[in-house]
Amino acid sequence: MREIANLAMETTGPRMRELKVAIEAEDWPQVRSLSHRLRGAWSISALAAKMEDQAANQALGEVVEMYLQLLQIWPQTQTAIQDWLSEISV
């Protein structure tokens, strides 16, 4: 389980940066793909699912708003994962 959590920590940050670039470029297939991959992450799953749907509709305003929400949620998620990893390594 620790390896899964570490992998999520390592991959989600870069995916968020890729998502920002894809949104700015209005690269809807890439926004959908990255949103789909983010769905597996803990608290951001529902929001990423909504973003995936909005990307299918090419709804830039909604996608940007959801991306900004993801940016707010990610540090909290990251901290929770790090805290959990600290607890299980004791």
Express each pLDDT in 53-89 by its tens digit: 999 999 999 999 999 998 988 887 777 777 767 767 7
Average pLDDT, the chain: 83
Q: At what angle do helices 60-88 and 2-24 cross, to 10 degrees?
A: 160
Residues contacting residue 8 through CB under 8 Å, at least 6 positions apart: 40, 41, 42, 81
* Whether residue 52 has pLDDT greater than 70: yes
Answer whether residue 47 shows pLDDT above 70: yes
